[in-house]
């Protein structure tokens, strides 16, 4: 599996935000992940996911992919997108990110899907948009842009599982449908 923004790291937080005492990693219930719990006041620190929004933008029947200027992304293709700011509507964040990364103004067509992965902090919300003609140009954080027909998508050079999964859903016409949920239950053998 390709990494996304990195694993959830409990070691980023060491002290309780309420009383300043050390935090300890504890499993409060058997069916939940370990939580950071204050050793003094028993307060629980919940690590919330970060929301990311991306857009599958088709221009003249080709999908726009980009490469970022960040060292770990320069050789991998991904969908234009980025983090949603606190209080910002997700749809407006998607439009803003397209403007920032590829210098285009768009109108969203619909929701492709919502993607999340066990052990990784971001939740990725992917929309679609179409333009008949446009000339995208690299924004401040963008290294390179290219348009790919559906049969030319560089599947082996995509940056994130969410990019792959969203593109697969899109080209297979499976948009706006929930991803199959696979749940493993704990079983105890006597």
Q: Domain ranges in the chain?
A: 10-45, 50-171
The answer to whether 10-45 and 50-171 have equal CATH topology is: no
Which pLDDT belongs to residue 2?
A: 36
50-171: what CATH class?
Answer: alpha beta
Which pLDDT belongs to residue 21?
A: 96
Q: How far apart are the first and last CA of the chain?
A: 34
Which pLDDT belongs to residue 13?
A: 85
Which pLDDT belongs to residue 46?
A: 85
Low-confidence ranges of the chain (pLDDT < 70): 1-10, 73-74, 176-190
Which pLDDT belongs to residue 5?
A: 47
Q: 140, 123, 161, 153: which is closest to 58 by C-alpha?
A: 153
The DSSP H or E segment spanning 100 is helix 90-102
The DSSP H or E segment spanning 128 is strand 122-131
Which pLDDT belongs to residue 12?
A: 78
Which pLDDT belongs to residue 177?
A: 53
Which pLDDT belongs to residue 9?
A: 65
Which pLDDT belongs to residue 185?
A: 47
The tokens 């998607």 sit on which residue? 94
The tokens describing 126, both together, are: 């992917």
DSSP state of 151: G
Cβ atoms within 10 Å, residue 129: 20
Which pLDDT belongs to residue 4?
A: 40
CATH architecture assigned to 10-45: Single Sheet (2.20)
User: Is the Cβ–Cβ distance between 112 and 176 less than 8 Å?
Assistant: yes
Q: Model pTM?
A: 0.78
């Amino acid at each position: 599996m390709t990494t996304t923004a990195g694993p959830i790291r409990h070691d980023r937080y060491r002290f309780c935000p309420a009383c300043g005492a050390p935090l300890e990693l504890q499993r409060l219930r058997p069916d939940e992940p370990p939580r950071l719990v204050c050793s003094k006041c028993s307060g629980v620190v919940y690590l919330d996911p970060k929301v990311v929004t991306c857009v599958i933008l088709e221009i003249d029947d080709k999908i726009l992919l980009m490469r970022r200027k960040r060292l770990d992304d320069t050789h991998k293709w991904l969908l234009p997108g980025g983090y949603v700011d606190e209080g910002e509507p997700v749809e407006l964040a998607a439009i803003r990110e397209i403007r920032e990364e590829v210098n285009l103004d768009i109108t969203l067509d619909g929701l492709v899907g919502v993607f999340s992965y066990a052990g990784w902090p971001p939740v990725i919300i992917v929309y679609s948009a179409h333009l008949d003609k446009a000339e995208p140009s690299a924004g401040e954080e963008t290294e390179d842009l290219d348009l790919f027909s559906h049969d030319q998508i560089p599947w082996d050079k995509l940056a994130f599982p969410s990019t792959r999964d969203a593109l697969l859903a899109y080209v297979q016409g499976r948009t706006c449908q929930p991803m199959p949920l696979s749940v493993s239950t704990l079983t105890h053998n006597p």
